[in-house]
Copies of this chain bind each other. A is one copy, B any other.
């Protein structure tokens, strides 16, 4: 490869890609792709435009600092309650009422060590609750880590790409999957990672009613809570509210991460909100693995307690204080993250101007919103080739194939770590790329 018209010395890129194995690019292994980009930056001295990982690029609010210090001084020697400290449980319950318009008692509102810990525990217990239901159905595209989690748990998985099944077509596709009788869990993220599709109330009603009909538990991953910026979900107790399947079934577990919406990824705390009916249900099959056959007891005492012992006292205290300020209307958490939408708008325009196309371009009948992620493709490329080739232009991303998407020509771009002042450079690099591709 010729250095001319490239951004980074191709020998450096080539050597490092080979060192870390290009299979990891195809697999969308974000941490390895991050390492590849780090190493190329280090050896070439060229700063990357980082689009590979969904990590917040915002300094979080320092609300709660005093609570953290107090908790550390007073409670660091005491085991936390495995289902959360009462102040935090109450604030989660208030948050769910004020931003989802659902009444869920604090007993069923449980902090976990990151949302991934809630996902892990939910999958394990929901996936074991009935002998004849042994499969997790992913409504794709989705978060690769959750697919690895299901494999790690030894549970079967099935999936489909939702892009071709919006609205009433979703009813037919889901019915086809569910009537086999083997689906224990339906899992999706809303807004969707990576496509940024947001389900409509009609679609959530379809998912909820079919989950009830076929006795599947919906795990709804709200990792990007209130981040569909086309609507303003930021005012506590006022409509519109974040859409949720919880309005349409009693078979649900909601996972609300603090990582993105609260820019709190480093503190490893998520909220798991369980339907009270499901929490109190009895499933004799659980006795094979747990001392109790009550769903909520197996979830909290059989799983969370035995895998982490709960969330650190100081972390819980700090997050409780942040949530209290959100609930009381003193801190508008959505305002803080709205800049992601502005970045997405600019970046998508730059990509399109340089000959790229948006892959998931529609959200039902509307154009796709501007949020944390978007998806693009370039004529003549498969996603894994495109992700790899863009490394030579100092741009890192992951291919869509790793997300369960059928649109294998695309890549996912995360906007969070791209700075506003990098936009002209993004344009320059994409121009170099596009010009060279057109020459070939």
* Residues of A participating in the B interface, judged by any CB pair closer than 8 Å: 27, 29, 31, 55-60, 62, 65, 68-69, 71-73, 75-80, 82, 113-114, 116-117, 120, 145, 148-149, 151-152, 154, 259, 263-269, 288-291, 301-303, 305-315, 318
Q: Which interface residue of A120, A268, A288, A308 has the most chain B CB atoms within 10 A?
A: A268
Q: Are A289 and B77 in contact (CB under 8 A)?
A: no
Q: Are B76 and A309 in contact (CB under 8 A)?
A: no
Give Cα A290–Cα B73 distance, bound, in whole angstroms.
40
Q: Are B308 and A117 in contact (CB under 8 A)?
A: yes
Residues in chain B near residue A56, CB distance under 8 A: 77
Residues in chain B near residue A69, CB distance under 8 A: 65, 68-69
Contact pick for A308, options B78, B113, B313, B318, CB 8 Å:
B113
**From A263, which residue of chain B is reached at the shortest CB distance?**
B77
How near does chain B come to A311, taking the closest CB pair, in angstroms?
7
Q: Are B73 and A62 in contact (CB under 8 A)?
A: yes
Give Cα A392–Cα B71 distance, bound, in whole angstroms.
34
Q: Are B31 and A301 in contact (CB under 8 A)?
A: yes
**A79-B259, A120-B307 known; 6 other A-B pairs, CB under 8 Å?**
A59-B77, A116-B307, A145-B306, A152-B290, A154-B154, A267-B313
Give Cα A266–Cα B316 distance, bound, in whole angstroms.
10
Residues A309 and B116 in contact in the complex (CB < 8 Å), given A76-B60, A266-B80, A291-B27? yes
Contact pick for A307, options B75, B269, B307, CB 8 Å:
B307
Residues in chain B near residue A75, CB distance under 8 A: 266
28 pairs of residues in contact across A and B, judged by CB atoms under 8 Å: A55-B77, A55-B79, A57-B77, A65-B69, A68-B68, A76-B266, A76-B267, A77-B264, A77-B265, A79-B259, A79-B265, A113-B308, A116-B309, A120-B306, A148-B302, A149-B306, A152-B290, A152-B302, A266-B312, A266-B313, A266-B314, A267-B314, A268-B309, A268-B310, A269-B312, A307-B307, A314-B314, A315-B315
